[in-house]
Amino acid sequence: MSANRHPIEQEELMAYLDGELPADQATEALSHLELCAECQTLVADFRGVSQELMGWEVESPEVGISSEINAALGERLKKREAAKVSWPRLGNRVTSRWVWVGVLAIVCVVVGLTLLLTSRNRNESRSTTYPSMASIEQYLMPDRNAEIALARSAAPQSISSDAEIMVLGWRGYETAIEGKNGFVCMVERSWTSPFNSAQFWNPKVRVPICLNPAGARSILPLTIKRTEMVLAGLSKAQMIDSIKAGFDNKELPAPEPGAMCYMMSRAGYLSDALGHHVPHLMFYFPLTDKTSWGADLPDSPVTLNPQFQGGPEPITEFVIPVSKWSDGTVAPAM
Amino acid sequence: MTSDEALMLEFQGGSRTAFEELFARYRKPLYGFFGRRLNNPERAEDLAQETFLAVIRAASRYEPRASVRTYLYGIALKLLAAERRKFLTSSTSGQSAPEPKTDGTPERMLWVRQALEKLDAPEREILMLREYEQLSYSDIAELLRIPVNTVRSRLFRSRLALKSYLESQAKSNPALRPNAGQLHTGRRGMQ
């Protein structure tokens, strides 16, 4: 494979398959792969190796917590309990309780200040904040084909190949390719995050999504509207008011029954914290109690997505992770 | 679903339920980790349980800098190294490591195991951590204390080598291979 013909190295191609390339390089890899038969063969080979390896399954016996672990666990929890109750005992020995209260208050203030300063320093060094909108160019993808490929990567090819593809232009989303199956695939930007999210203006965010026909009719209009308002330079407060009004006067639709989407791209960049995240499906409903889906309960694979929580859209959104990326490769467990 | 890290912090705070949930999530993967590397199901089970014992003993020192997943496999790697040292010592004093049990093992598994055994040990470990434990490049780099680029290049080499071994095995004994021909399908299309 010569470097002249291929903009990405074989090793990078492998890293792409492993979900280890940054979003911009992953997009480049994806769009090259669509056109390069030689690279597709290499990718098929790598997948073949992974599939062969998966053939070595280790059957685990059903074993519970051993008696040794139980004993160690009991001992540890007992020690913790003892540590908790030892403070009041000490306190009883002191004649004036107020002395202890005073000491405790001083300790709390000192510890609190230390934690505050430490956490602030950590946050500053670890993450970048995005207090306001960057220039529009930073949200656009200069390579239209790369954006189309990234949008398609949200769902398995059997779905996305016949989907309508929308790309972001200077005036908003526009149809790049007409679809046949009612699905719409696109790459969402940071402003589909909750309004109070620190990532709301992060120009690096690229969220490939394929909405099913019900989602395209009832959820897509929200993304379109948010995007139009962002590009028109509205403030967050103005956008929130406009969305509320949109639902009040029925300009914006409620989620249709069955509205859902695929978010199974390994090349997306959902936020600085999540990166590619995990492949998942999302389901939309008018405001619904999360317990009706068993969301966020122990061992439940269903979680409540915070995207619309506390926002102006009266929508509840559930997320279910899936085990494979849209290209069929196995994703890391959550 | 509560994250592993939140469960670990709850356990630090004294929650038995949080520990039980972590146990339920990771016992089988840890058993698989030891099972593939030791060929000894009894020791695999013992060491999976020992990993959790180590978690209990060191719970107060856990800091959520790394994911719980990486933290657990870090402990598991240390236990594995100790186990291998023990075998080395015992084999020099006359005892030998148990032979892999092959009775009743499906041929496909044997075939994969044999191909893996042909890889250099460091490359095999990286490949297994990636494929079976699903760790990221940076997690593997941290655990093995090597640069991320080294992880990537060794992983690349090991995958190509494995592909070549599997292909040569398929050629020499096509009947052995249930999915013969899978590696060179010449598939078109990205997804």
Q: Does A83 touch chain B (CB under 8 A)?
A: no
pLDDT band for A115, please (50, 70, 90 cuts): low
pLDDT higher than threshold 70 for residue B185 = no
Pairwise pLDDT comparison (A166 vs A129), residue with the higher score: A166
pLDDT band for A60, please (50, 70, 90 cuts): confident
pLDDT higher than threshold 70 for residue B179 = no
Which of the following CATH numbers is that of domain B1-94: 1.10.3720.10, 1.10.1740.10, 3.30.360.10, 3.30.365.10?
A: 1.10.1740.10
The tokens describing B181, both together, are: 């021909």
Mean pLDDT for the stretch of residues A9-31: 85
Residue B90 is predicted with a pLDDT of 67
pLDDT higher than threshold 80 for residue A3 = no
> Residue A158: which of A321, A327, A18 has the closest Cα?
A327
The tokens describing A201, both together, are: 């203006």
The continuous run of DSSP H or E covering A32 comes out as helix A23-35
A37, A49, A58 ranked by CB distance to B163: nearest: A49
Sign of the alpha-carbon torsion through B4, B7, B12, B17:
negative
Least confident of A48-52, A240-244, B102-106: B102-106
Residues of chain A neighbouring B135 (CB-CB closer than 8 A): 332
DSSP-H helix ranges across chain B: 4-12, 16-38, 41-57, 68-92, 107-117, 121-131, 137-144, 148-172
Query: What is the spatial distance between Cα B98 and Cα B37, in angstroms, rounded to a whole number?
Result: 12
Q: What residues of chain B, 81 to 100, have a C-beta less than 8 Å from chain A?
A: none
Least confident of A275-279, B24-28, B80-84: A275-279
Buried b (16+ CB within 10 A) or exposed e, A268-300: bbbbbeeebbbbbbbbbbeebebeebebeeeee
Please say whether the beta carbons of B21 and B2 come within 8 A: yes
Q: Does A104 touch chain B (CB under 8 A)?
A: no
| Residue range(s) occupied by CATH 1.10.10.10 in chain B | 104-177
Mean pLDDT for the stretch of residues A24-31: 81
The whole-angstrom distance between A35's CA and the closest CA on chain B is 8
pLDDT band for A281, please (50, 70, 90 cuts): very high
Sign of the alpha-carbon torsion through A227, A232, A238, A244:
negative
Residue A78 is predicted with a pLDDT of 80
Pairwise pLDDT comparison (B27 vs B95), residue with the higher score: B27
Residues of chain B neighbouring A126 (CB-CB closer than 8 A): none
pLDDT higher than threshold 90 for residue B22 = yes
pLDDT higher than threshold 70 for residue B84 = yes
Residue B55 is predicted with a pLDDT of 94
pLDDT band for B98, please (50, 70, 90 cuts): low
**Pairwise CB contact (< 8 Å): A40 & B27:** no
- For helices B4-12 and B16-38, the axis angle rounded to 10 degrees is 120
Most confident of A23-27, A73-77, A160-164, A291-295: A160-164
The tokens describing A101, both together, are: 């209260």
Alpha carbon dihedral A74, A78, A80, A84, in 10-degree steps, equals 150
Please say whether the beta carbons of A318 and A293 come within 8 A: yes
Buried b (16+ CB within 10 A) or exposed e, A6-43: bebebebbbbbbbbbbebebbbbbbbbbbebeebbebb
| DSSP three-state, residue A252 | coil
Residue B181 is predicted with a pLDDT of 39
Q: Does B62 touch chain A (CB under 8 A)?
A: no
User: Left, alpha or beta for B94 (phi > 0: left; psi -120 to 50: alpha)?
Assistant: left
Residue B182 is predicted with a pLDDT of 46
Q: Can you name the CATH fold of B104-177?
A: Arc Repressor Mutant, subunit A (1.10.10)
Query: What is the spatial distance between Cα A211 and Cα A253, in angstroms, rounded to a whole number?
Result: 15
B29, B41, B191 ranked by CB distance to A157: nearest: B191
| Residue range(s) occupied by CATH 1.10.1740.10 in chain B | 1-94
Non-local CB neighbours of B165 within 8 Å, separated by 6+ positions: B115, B118
Q: What residues of chain B, 108 to 147, have a C-beta less than 8 Å from chain A?
A: 108-109, 111-113, 115-116, 127, 130-132, 134-137
Mean pLDDT for the stretch of residues B9-14: 88
Query: What is the spatial distance between Cα A166 and Cα A177, in angstroms, rounded to a whole number?
Result: 7
**Pairwise CB contact (< 8 Å): B183 & A45:** yes
Q: Does A334 touch chain B (CB under 8 A)?
A: yes
Task: Give the end-to-end CA distance of chain B in Å, rounded to a whole number.
Answer: 29
Mean pLDDT for the stretch of residues A82-104: 54
Phi–psi pair at A90, nearest 5 degrees: -60, -40
Q: Is A145 exposed, middle or buried (0-12, 13-18, 19+ CB in 10 A)?
A: middle
DSSP-H helix ranges across B39-67: 41-57
**Pairwise CB contact (< 8 Å): B19 & A160:** no
Q: Which residues are A284's β-sheet partners?
A: A317
Average pLDDT over all residues of chain A: 82
Q: Which residues are A269's β-sheet partners?
A: A206
Residue A93 is predicted with a pLDDT of 46
Q: Does A72 touch chain B (CB under 8 A)?
A: yes
pTM of the model: 0.58
pLDDT band for A108, please (50, 70, 90 cuts): low
